[in-house]
Amino acid sequence: MNIVHKDGNINKNSNGLSRWPLPNDIDNPAYVLGETSPQIPIEGISVTDLNTTFFEEVRNIYTQDKNCRILCQLLTKDCEDNSLIHALDEIWRKSYDEGRFYLLDGIIYHRTKHTCVMTFVERS
């Protein structure tokens, strides 16, 4: 293995691949015989200690908001109903078209760059 240091401003921000751990093979200076590393490393886990009542309330709020209700319909069935898509407000439609929304256990998540956050309805 050969590591080359490159000085200068252009090299100060490392890319995403450089943050991944090295594979456990002979080229790795920290190689341990017989120990295998995971295929996809987990670099951060966010754990919540919320009871199911909280998530039920979020799902119920989705039924009261037009955009959330439409998104749940679109994401549940993986449907391409153009009338539903066009019924979304512009900013919601743009994110939907970009594939930024995910539905998991009835909760809508919005992916932004490298993060994925739970989506809540804005307060009136």
Per residue in 10-30, pLDDT (tens digit) is 545 444 555 555 566 677 666
User: What distance in Å separates the CA atoms of residue 83 and residue 48, rounded to the nearest whole number?
Assistant: 36
Domain edges within the chain: 52-118
Per residue in 23-55, pLDDT (tens digit) is 666 776 666 676 554 544 445 555 666 778 888
Least confident of 63-67, 97-101, 112-116: 112-116
Place of tokens 């009542």: 53
pTM: 0.53
pLDDT of residue 37: 47
